[in-house]
Amino acid sequence: MIEARDTGSPETAREGGGRDFWPDDKPARKVPNRKLLFGGGGAAAVVVIAIAAALVLTGGGDDKAPKGPVLPTAFTPDFSGEGFTKIASRGVDPRPVTEAEALAGDAKTLSSGKYTFKLAASNLATDCKSVTWGARLQGDLAKYGCSQILRGAYVSTDKKYVGQFMIINLSGEQGVQQIQRDLDRATGAGWVKPLNPPGVPPFGTGFSAAYAKTYGHYAVITWVERAGGVQPASLNEMIDVSLVIEKPADFVWGRLDLVSGGKRR
């Protein structure tokens, strides 16, 4: 069982010599809201129960790929879409995403600080239902014009971490926001299926954390865990890893430049 101590602030934990499970401020990402992280759980006791249940359902660190639907233990959406209003509609950015555009070149190897990841497998689906589970999620994907879901599975060079990069191509920003609401584990609406390529530590076997962001009409999702689903010492660790896995989304900035003529504002 994970004990997620709520000290009121990260500083309180540091001053007391303890180690707070909750994240500090990180560049380019807001501090995840405690309620959002665990799908609406409020009190610390509820959070502990939610995580414990999730670990049981996902296998709690088994070394085999999980059978059946997989959900992240912790999930944080970001609905803001700040900086991407010019591509809030697919009407101005109709060109389909390709694997070569998003996951080739620099995206095959991702590095930041002490982390280096290699792309182990990728998949581009135009049938969004085929790579997701959950009737409600699948219904909203159809309603909001899902045309593609691109997935990339990454593994760290030391085999200690595994990550999933996902991008969902929707008709507009409103759809992106609705899909993020669906991905809240408390809704039971469903999720995107992770890739589990051979030769890579299985994904979804224990504790995992997912982060979704609004990139105009694209929903960008990073989903990360320690190999084997081992509990992290802090969610800061998962945020650091997720920021590395998010790097393939840089191609969206190129599309934004094309639409705005090089002027993003």
Task: Give the Cα separation of 139 and 240 in Å (integer).
Answer: 33
- Residue 192 in 3-state DSSP? strand
The model's pTM is: 0.78
pLDDT (tens digit per residue) in 86-116: 999 999 999 999 999 999 999 999 999 999 9
Which residue in the block uniquely carries the two structure tokens 């982060």? 211
Cα 154 to chain centroid distance, Å, stands at 13
What was the pLDDT predicted at 56?
Answer: 40
127-143 as b/e: b if 16+ CB within 10 A: ebbebbbbeebbebbee
DSSP-assigned states of every residue in 92-119:
G--SPP-HHHHHSGGGGEEEETTEEEEE
What was the pLDDT predicted at 1?
Answer: 29
List the single range of 64-73, 87-96, 109-118, 168-177 with lowest mean pLDDT: 64-73
Question: What would the two tokens of residue 210 be?
Answer: 């997912």
Task: Give the Cα separation of 42 and 64 in Å (integer).
Answer: 32
The answer to whether 145 and 175 have CB atoms below 8 angstroms apart is: yes
Q: Which amino acid is at 73?
A: T
Task: Give the Cα separation of 8 and 24 in Å (integer).
Answer: 12
The answer on pLDDT for 26 being more than 50 is no
Q: What does the chain come to in residues?
A: 265
List the single range of 43-47, 101-105, 125-129, 161-165 with lowest mean pLDDT: 43-47
Task: Give the Cα separation of 41 and 39 in Å (integer).
Answer: 6
Task: Kindly give the pairing relationship between strand 209-215 and strand 74-78.
Answer: parallel
Half-sphere exposure for 129 (CA within 13 Å, toward CB): 8
Taking alpha carbons only, the member of 10, 29, 144, 137 closest to residue 80 is 29
What ranges make up the beta strands (E) of 31-147?
Answer: 74-78, 109-112, 115-125, 132-133
pLDDT (tens digit per residue) in 231-258: 998 999 999 999 999 999 999 999 999 9
pLDDT (tens digit per residue) in 126-153: 999 999 999 999 999 999 999 999 999 9
The answer to whether 247 and 110 have CB atoms below 8 angstroms apart is: yes
